[in-house]
């Protein structure tokens, strides 16, 4: 019977473990512990100030599942995901493709397109609160000037319009990020591939969709992944602009969480919403991350 | 070696300086971040510090409103490092913190400042929990005044309305003349404050307190009647697109003469004056129909978290200065609010302030001072009331009315089960 040699930790192994210890500790303290603590809190009733909590089991989860406000916030979050995946990402790609053709003033346009993304969310909200002033705001005034005053709306005050208005503001704010990533991606597409396609007689449209766009997939991963995550954790612009109103019509799960926690002092219910948000985000985003991870592995294998 | 000694010396000096600073300097947390509000708070802190040079307070602004301040306080309480003093809302807000064992009772300082004598009875009852004072008022604003553009009224020969019929007649005349008759703004507070006029008209002061105590249902005929009155007399009078505006945007509409009337807290008078739209010249005010002779008010108080002996003593010293006539005037005049202390000389105010002061004195004498219902109700009920009234103002249909009644009554029943109402 062969004796297995004893595996001893070498100095290098200890060094590796040492380097791993800190991030592992940080992950445990700042991610694992808060998640477990939140799940525990979601099973209690607590106003955030009382010295004790009352255990209520799954009551917070069950009552939320029948709450029209909660269901409305879930619906809004799902709509935001669809919007963020399509509009800012699509616009960013479009702007990047236009600018990649080498038009005059490219550098200035690059700055102009990206500039809104550098503005803090609260400032974006303040800007658009004025833009959307329903009688004298810039948007209504411009529509009046061009003879389209009939299209003017009560932008932030009509429950049927407010979400679209917020999406307009967010599109203005975040398209610059998608643009920059796609633009950098386009600049990294090998010139030989494009030249070869042109020599073969491909039209500019075919060159873009058959050659450039497929080679952009690393950029696409980043943009779509970040967009979906941003949509699920959306809070600051909505809170600073409408606080989820009027009458909950622009609520998303993060604003609902915040309002329940600090507006109504229902910490248990608020945390239950946060746990729901985590679960919903996982259901929506995890398949994408798994799919993309496999693509990366396949790509590395090739 | 020399360098390290020098550095050590500097560090010791810095540490001792910090320690000395920490001994004498305390924080007061508030959310008055700009304009007349910040000017008032700075003046109050200056007055408090001048009265006790040994203990200095610095203001720490928590941007936002009471919601953001609660978030910050919660973190501070959990870490055991609350401020020595903070700006608190009245009534149920105080009770929540008292029930959590977070606030220091102000019985001693209350008796030193003679709180039972200098503050009206209606004010006293919303700073005490089970008869013990936990907050000292410093900022009081009436919320039952309708401000109007004088030029618009004079152009049409209108007099300030005195009852619902004359109010409706004024609305009709103003709309026919091309004005937006009555401004309002989006958010859970402003429509609710307007609704109080209709509510008090129907249920009176007793009924108002019955709702606050959970004794009168949201499905009662009286509450439904108040909703109908609000819909027929005020909502029908609102400006187009009001729900998409902030209160400052609507105030601008009044200044510009697009909107003729605006029912808002008296802080709007300070906003008008800052825009050089002067009280008695550009605008004037009247008490909303149904509230003549009464004062519905919103109020902020200074609250003291449980802490060290030193911080509590410093906070109480500050409160003594803040409750004095000088301290109260120092805040109220730049802020454009009223001093809750009845001994403050009305001559410190301008035209608008003295009008509000007179209204408040008359209401106090008649024992018709009503605190904001939002803060008398359990937090979740008050907040939902604000949201539901705004929703009803946007869509005043019978369907929404019934949903409002069902939602609020469900919360009332739950609060009754939880024994959450306070017997104000």
Coil, strand or helix at B295: strand
**Interstrand relation of B180-183 and B145-149 (parallel, antiparallel or unpaired):** unpaired
**pLDDT confidence bin for A300, thresholds 50/70/90:** low
Q: Tell me the chain A residues in contact with residue B253 when contact means C-beta distances shorter than 8 Å.
A: 135
Task: Give pLDDT tens digits for A27-55.
Answer: 999 999 999 999 999 999 999 999 899 99
Q: Which of A129, A130, A244, A247 to mutate to test the interface with B (most CBs of B within 10 A)?
A: A247
Closest to A49 (Cβ–Cβ): which among B96, B245, B383?
B96
Task: Please enumerate in sequence order all residues whose Cβ is within 8 A of that of A69, keeping only pairs 6 or more positions apart, or say none.
Answer: A248, A251, A256
- If one counts every other C-beta atom within 10 angstroms of the C-beta of residue B105, the result is 15
* Nearest residue of chain A to residue B78 (CA atoms): A49
Q: Sketch the domain layout of chain B as residue ranges.
A: 23-139+304-346, 145-296+371-417
Closest to A134 (Cβ–Cβ): which among B96, B245, B387?
B245
Across the interface, whether the CB atoms of B380 and A265 are under 8 A apart is answered: yes
Choose among B296, B302, B370, B335: nearest CA to B138. Answer: B302
Q: Tell me the chain B residues in contact with residue A52 when contact means C-beta distances shorter than 8 Å.
A: none
Q: How far apart are the first and last CA of chain A?
A: 42
CATH number of B23-139+304-346: 3.40.190.10
User: How far is CA B271 from each of CA B38, B108, B267, rounded to the nearest angstrom?
Assistant: 13, 37, 7
The pLDDT assigned to A101 comes to 83
Across the interface, whether the CB atoms of B244 and A50 are under 8 A apart is answered: no
Question: What part of B 233-272 touches A (C-beta under 8 Å)?
Answer: 240-246, 249, 253, 258
Concatenating the DSSP letter of every residue in A95-126 gives HHHHHTT--TTHHHHHHHHHGGGGS-HHHHHH
Closest to A156 (Cβ–Cβ): which among B188, B244, B391?
B244
Q: Tell me the chain A residues in contact with residue B258 when contact means C-beta distances shorter than 8 Å.
A: 135
Across the interface, whether the CB atoms of A157 and B241 are under 8 A apart is answered: yes
pLDDT above 70 covers a percentage of chain A that reads 96
> Residue holding tokens 């301008």?
B350
* Nearest residue of chain B to residue A264 (CA atoms): B380
Task: Give pLDDT tens digits for B319-354.
Answer: 999 999 999 999 999 999 999 999 999 999 999 999
**Interstrand relation of B295-303 and B85-89 (parallel, antiparallel or unpaired):** antiparallel
ipTM above 0.90, yes or no: no
Across the interface, whether the CB atoms of B186 and A248 are under 8 A apart is answered: no
Q: Tell me the chain B residues in contact with residue A264 when contact means C-beta distances shorter than 8 Å.
A: 379-380, 383
Closest to A264 (Cβ–Cβ): which among B187, B246, B379?
B379
Per-residue pLDDT in tens (0 to 9) along chain B, 424 residues: 444 455 455 445 444 444 444 447 999 999 999 888 999 999 999 999 999 988 999 999 999 889 999 999 999 998 899 999 999 999 999 999 999 999 999 999 999 999 999 999 889 999 999 999 999 999 999 999 999 999 999 999 999 999 999 999 999 999 999 999 999 999 999 999 999 999 999 999 999 999 999 999 999 999 999 999 999 999 999 999 999 999 999 999 999 999 999 999 999 999 999 999 999 999 999 999 999 999 999 999 999 999 999 999 999 999 999 999 999 999 999 999 999 999 999 999 999 999 999 999 999 889 899 999 999 999 999 999 999 999 999 999 999 999 999 999 999 999 999 999 998 8
> Residue holding tokens 């004062």?
B295
Distance CA A99, CA A94 (A): 9
Across the interface, whether the CB atoms of A154 and B71 are under 8 A apart is answered: no
CATH topology of domain B145-296+371-417: D-Maltodextrin-Binding Protein; domain 2 (3.40.190)
Across the interface, whether the CB atoms of A265 and B96 are under 8 A apart is answered: yes
Closest to A157 (Cβ–Cβ): which among B70, B97, B244?
B244
Task: Give pLDDT tens digits for A198-223.
Answer: 998 999 889 988 999 999 988 998 89
| Chain A contact for B68 (CB, 8 A cutoff) | yes
CA distance B96 to chain A (A): 7
Backbone angles phi, psi at A58, to 5 degrees: -95, 15
CATH number of A77-250: 1.10.3720.10
Cβ density class A191-218: b for 16+ within 10 Å, e for less: eeebeebeeeebeeeebbeebbbeebeb
The pLDDT assigned to A289 comes to 78
- If one counts every other C-beta atom within 10 angstroms of the C-beta of residue B210, the result is 17
The pLDDT assigned to A3 comes to 57
Distance CA B59, CA B51 (A): 16
Is the sign of the CA dihedral B284, B287, B292, B295 positive or negative? negative
Distance CA A124, CA A126 (A): 5
CA distance B148 to chain A (A): 20
């Amino acid at each position: 019977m062969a004796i297995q040699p004893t595996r001893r930790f070498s100095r290098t192994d200890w060094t590796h473990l040492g380097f791993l210890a800190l991030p592992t500790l940080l992950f445990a303290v700042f991610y694992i512990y808060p998640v477990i603590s939140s799940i525990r809190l979601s099973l209690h009733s607590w106003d955030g100030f009382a010295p004790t909590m009352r255990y209520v089991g799954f009551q917070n989860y069950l009552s939320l599942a029948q709450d029209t406000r909660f269901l409305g916030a879930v619906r809004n979050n799902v709509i935001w995901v669809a919007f963020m995946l399509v509009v800012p990402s699509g616009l960013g790609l479009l702007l990047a493709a236009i600018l990649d053709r080498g038009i005059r003033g490219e550098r200035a346009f690059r700055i102009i397109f990206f500039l809104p993304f550098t503005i803090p969310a609260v400032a974006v909200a303040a800007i658009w609160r004025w833009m959307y002033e329903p009688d004298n705001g810039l948007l209504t005034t411009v529509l009046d000037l061009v003879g389209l005053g009939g299209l003017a709306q009560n932008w932030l005050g009509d429950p049927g319009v407010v979400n679209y208005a917020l999406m307009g503001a967010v599109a203005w704010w975040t398209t610059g990020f998608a643009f920059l990533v796609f633009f950098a991606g386009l600049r990294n597409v090998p010139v030989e591939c494009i030249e070869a396609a042109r020599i073969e007689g491909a039209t500019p449209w075919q060159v873009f969709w058959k050659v450039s766009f497929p080679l952009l997939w690393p950029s696409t991963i980043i943009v779509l992944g970040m967009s979906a995550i941003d949509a699920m954790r959306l809070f600051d612009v909505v809170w600073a602009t409408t606080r989820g109103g009027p009458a909950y019509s622009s609520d998303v799960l993060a604003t609902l969480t915040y309002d329940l926690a600090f507006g109504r002092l229902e910490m248990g219910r608020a945390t239950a919403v946060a746990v729901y948000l985590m679960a919903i985000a996982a259901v929506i985003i995890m398949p994408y991350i798994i799919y993309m991870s496999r693509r990366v592995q396949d790509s590395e294998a090739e | 070696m020399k360098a390290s000694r020098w550095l050590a010396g500097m560090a010791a000096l810095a540490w001792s300086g910090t320690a000395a600073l920490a001994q004498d300097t305390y924080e007061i947390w508030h959310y008055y971040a700009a304009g007349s509000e910040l000017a008032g708070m700075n003046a109050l802190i200056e007055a408090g510090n001048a009265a006790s040079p040994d203990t200095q307070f610095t203001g720490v602004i928590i941007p936002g409103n009471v919601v953001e301040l609660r978030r910050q306080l919660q973190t501070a309480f959990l870490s055991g490092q609350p401020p020595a003093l903070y700006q608190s809302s009245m009534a149920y807000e105080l009770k929540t913190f008292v029930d959590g064992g977070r606030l220091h009772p102000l019985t001693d300082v209350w008796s030193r400042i003679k709180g039972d004598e200098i503050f009206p009875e209606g004010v006293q009852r919303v700073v005490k929990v089970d008869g013990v004072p936990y907050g000292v008022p410093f900022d009081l604003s009436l919320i039952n005044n309708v401000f109007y553009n004088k030029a618009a009224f004079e152009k049409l020969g209108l007099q300030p309305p005195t009852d619902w019929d004359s109010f409706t007649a004024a609305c009709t005349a103003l709309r026919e003349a091309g004005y937006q008759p009555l401004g309002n703004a989006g958010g859970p507070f402003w429509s609710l404050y307007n609704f109080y006029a209709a509510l008090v008209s129907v249920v009176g002061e007793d009924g108002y307190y019955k709702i606050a105590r959970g004794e009168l249902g949201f499905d009662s005929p009286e509450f439904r009647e108040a909703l109908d009155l609000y819909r027929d007399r005020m909502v029908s009078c609102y400006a187009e697109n009001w729900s998409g505006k902030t209160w400052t945007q609507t105030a601008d509409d009044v200044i510009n003469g697009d909107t003729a009337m605006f029912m808002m807290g008296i802080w709007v008078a300070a906003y008008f004056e800052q825009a050089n739209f002067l009280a008695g010249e550009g605008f004037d005010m009247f008490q909303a129909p149904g509230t003549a002779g009464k004062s519905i008010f919103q109020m902020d108080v200074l609250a003291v978290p449980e802490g060290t002996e030193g911080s509590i003593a410093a906070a109480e010293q500050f409160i003594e200065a803040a409750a004095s006539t000088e301290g109260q005037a120092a805040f109220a005049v730049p802020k454009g609010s009223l001093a809750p202390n009845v001994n403050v000389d009305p001559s410190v105010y301008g035209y608008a302030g003295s009008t509000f002061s007179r209204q408040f004195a008359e209401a106090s004498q008649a024992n018709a001072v009503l605190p904001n219902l939002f803060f008398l109700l359990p937090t979740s009920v008050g907040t939902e009331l604000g949201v539901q009234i705004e929703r009803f103002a946007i869509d005043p249909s019978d369907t929404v009315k019934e949903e409002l009644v069902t939602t609020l009554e469900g919360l009332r029943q739950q609060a009754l089960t939880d024994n959450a109402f306070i017997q104000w």
